[in-house]
Amino acid sequence: MSFLKILFVSPEAVPYAKTGGLADVAGALPKSLAKLGHTVKLVMPLYKHVDRDKFNLKQVASSLTARIADRDGKFNLYESGSDVGGLEVLFVENNGFFDRPELYRDPSTGRDWADNDERFGFFARAVLETCRYSNYIPDVIHCNDWQSGLIPAFLKVDSGYSDFSNASTVFSIHNIAYQGNFPSESFSKLGLDGSLFAPGGGFEYWEKVSYLKAGIWYADLINTVSETYAGEIQSSNEYGYGFEGVLKDRSADLFGILNGIDYNIWDPSVDNLIPANFKPEKLAGKKKCKNALRKRVKLPMVRRDIPIIGIISRLADQKGFDLIEEVAEDLMALDIQIVLLGTGDEKYHRLFSELHKKYPKKIAALLEFNNEMAHLIEAGSDMFLMPSRYEPCGLNQLYSLRYGTIPIVRKTGGLADTIENANPAKGTGNGFVFTGYDAREMLNAIKFACEVYRDKNVWEILMLRGMRQDFSWDASAKKYIELYKKAIAKKNR
Ligand code: ADP
């Protein structure tokens, strides 16, 4: 087998900076690729959030330049000095662009940073300059989401990159609803021939410049994070968010590879962020975690056998909170307790604060981003609710399986690919699944889960089945290597 030179480009990665699932993927997949023997470098921006001391960051180059908006933006290059599992992690430092309180959004206005076009246009060029500086022209550049969508485009349309003629590109879509669309004026900042910005071309999307479209249009191959989502985003506007046509045109080049999870971080038998460890052969620790969770979030112990339902999520429409809102009173009438951890839309902050005020014994609402709490909720809950409108892959249902916390999910995207409805009589399934985007269907699934929960033996069998499933990155990393090889073959055709 021949080994590849891979460059993995992501706007965020665990453990350095995270807003969502992409960071988990970028933190784990490159390590798994390196474990297979390939040479891997990961590049991301050096945000304010990255703890330079903790990760022992070392400056490896200074005063490199990347052009944006008719000026040469300067950047320094840093490398992680800590052991990162056989790969090199590089950071692009430009404090004007990246030393900010949030990654993509201005917290003082609640809106995206006004210069995101420049920030990530600059980042795309800086990544390519980083390759040049490091003398590293990869066989494949794996770009992720709109923030790196310009890289495949630059390589195809900018004649200044002839030294990358052997580099193929793969563009991964982690969520099609986040598109990086900017006013048409932004195009002139990219230093490309103006004629490239035209209807029916690779950059123009309803008179805007779309970095997502550029990635989809120009990458050698495209993929997304589950097979079902790959089909859904081509199928209708409801799932494709306007990109269904562009994706359908590239259907033959579009693949779905399920995300794995990092069991070094998310496994209750080794997790040091939870009060007691547990595993299929020794479940006692889970009860301790449940008690600790209840104490920590100040939910009273009404009865020992009331199930706790956990929710950890961005509070966004995508995640199905309007369904919860619709049947909130019915939910509160059930014999359950809910622990919610999340941040996002103001309207959902209000919804959950008010519910908590009205039903303090039934629901705890932690409106913050708190990784340690996320681990405790996974470990201490009995069930995990993800009623998503759409879900490219979803990670929390996979973490839940490993922690013996039974997922209740809507059948969409990666949730459909990973969770099978329980049939206690037949002894099949690993969770509870409802199909329609419908509050009553969700409520019925929760009621069914509560019914099954009452039979401790059946419930334990269900838990154990999920805990023993393997969603590690090993299988998916191999599929990525196959995908990279296809991209390389396509490039050389
Ligand atoms: P998405 O990428 O759409 O946000 P995923 O399920 O793919 O959804 O990944 C979300 C990741 O972010 C998970 O690792 C989840 O635990 C984490 N997460 C989301 N919200 C919070 C929060 N408020 N505190 C801690 N972790 C969170």
Does residue 24 have its Cβ closer than 6 Å to ligand 1? yes
* Nearest residue to 114 (alpha-carbon basis) of 129, 104, 127, 101: 104
* Nearest residue to 46 (alpha-carbon basis) of 111, 88, 103: 103
Give the distance (Å) from ligand 1 centre to CA of residue 138. Answer: 31
Does residue 19 have its Cβ closer than 6 Å to ligand 1? no
Cβ neighbours around 36 below 10 Å, total: 16
Return the residue matching tokens 């909170």: 321
Q: Decide: helix, strand or coil at residue 186.
A: helix
Does residue 369 have its Cβ closer than 6 Å to ligand 1? yes
Does residue 176 have its Cβ closer than 6 Å to ligand 1? no
Within 8 A by CB and 6+ apart from 334, the residues are: 446, 447, 450
CA–CA distance, 163 with 149 (Å, rounded to integer) = 19
Does residue 46 have its Cβ closer than 6 Å to ligand 1? no
Within 8 A by CB and 6+ apart from 9, the residues are: 42, 43, 44, 127, 141, 142, 143, 144, 148, 151
Q: Report yes or no: 5 and 136 within 8 Å, Cβ to Cβ.
A: yes
* φ and ψ at residue 368, rounded to 5 degrees: -155, 170
Number of H helices, E strands in the chain: 18, 20
Per the structure block, which two tokens stand in for 236? 């209708």
Within 8 A by CB and 6+ apart from 435, the residues are: 410, 411, 441
**In order of start, what are the domains of the chain with their CATH numbers?**
5-260+474-491 (3.40.50.2000), 284-470 (3.40.50.2000)
Give the distance (Å) from ligand 1 centre to CA of residue 31. Answer: 20
Give the distance (Å) from ligand 1 centre to CA of residue 208. Answer: 29
Query: Which 8-state DSSP code applies to residue 482?
Result: H
Q: What is the pLDDT along the chain (493 residues), one digit of tens a residue?
A: 589 999 999 999 999 999 989 999 999 999 999 999 999 999 999 999 899 999 999 999 999 999 999 999 999 999 998 878 899 999 999 999 999 999 999 999 989 999 999 999 999 999 999 999 999 999 999 999 999 999 999 999 999 999 999 999 999 999 999 999 999 999 999 999 999 999 999 999 999 999 999 999 999 999 999 999 999 999 999 999 999 999 999 999 999 999 999 999 999 999 999 999 999 999 999 999 999 999 999 999 988 789 999 999 999 999 999 999 999 999 999 999 999 999 999 999 999 999 999 999 999 999 999 999 999 999 999 999 999 999 999 999 999 999 999 999 999 999 999 999 999 999 999 999 999 999 999 999 999 999 999 999 999 999 999 999 999 999 999 999 999 999 999 998 8
The neighbouring-strand residues paired with 173 are 224
CA–CA distance, 378 with 396 (Å, rounded to integer) = 8
Distances (CA, A) of 29 to 14, 93, 254: 11, 23, 19
The pLDDT, as a whole number, for residue 1 is 55
Which uninterrupted H or E stretch holds 376?
Answer: helix 371-380
Q: Report yes or no: 56 and 82 within 8 Å, Cβ to Cβ.
A: yes
Per the structure block, which two tokens stand in for 152? 């495949």
Give the distance (Å) from ligand 1 centre to CA of residue 262. Answer: 14
Q: How far apart are the first and last CA of the chain?
A: 20
* Nearest residue to 71 (alpha-carbon basis) of 123, 122, 128: 122
Ligand 1 atom nearest the C-alpha of 396 is 6
Give the distance (Å) from ligand 1 centre to CA of residue 219. Answer: 27
For ligand 1, atom 20, name the residue with the nearest CA. 313
Does residue 128 have its Cβ closer than 6 Å to ligand 1? no
Within 8 A by CB and 6+ apart from 432, the residues are: 383, 406, 407, 408, 409, 421, 422, 445, 446, 448, 449, 452
The pLDDT, as a whole number, for residue 82 is 81
Ligand 1 atom nearest the C-alpha of 393 is 7
Give pLDDT tens digits for 323-365.
999 999 999 999 999 999 999 999 999 999 999 999 999 999 9
Does residue 14 have its Cβ closer than 6 Å to ligand 1? no
Give pLDDT tens digits for 270-314.
999 999 999 999 999 999 999 999 999 999 998 878 999 999 999
Q: Report yes or no: 331 and 439 within 8 Å, Cβ to Cβ.
A: no
